Amino acid sequence: MPFDYDKVKNILVCPTSKAALVYDDTALVSVDPETRASYPILDDIPRLLSDDATQLSPEDWGQVMQRHSRDATTGQTV
């Protein structure tokens, strides 16, 4: 069964910061500007472990936030 973000978006949070996550193609990205954590989705399974996360650069994180109608600096919904 493929990963269905819409069914779980209200309960998924970043394990590091407890911030919301946005679904960005092959990853879930934290909206927290301090951590900028990106968690991979492998074989339709989100890997929400801190050890599996990568920290995006501020520029890359800002671009992800903009794609999801969020402020590129704060991660808040615009």
pLDDT by 10-residue block (mean), the chain, 78 residues? 90 96 96 98 95 97 98 96
Query: What residue type is 75 in one-letter code?
Result: G
Regarding pTM above 0.75, the answer is yes
Please give the pLDDT value at position 2.
84
CATH architecture of 5-67: Single Sheet (2.20)
Rounded to whole angstroms, the Cα distance separating 73 from 54 reads 18
Bridge-partner residues for 20, per DSSP?
A: 13
Closest CA to 16 of 4, 26, 8, 28: 28
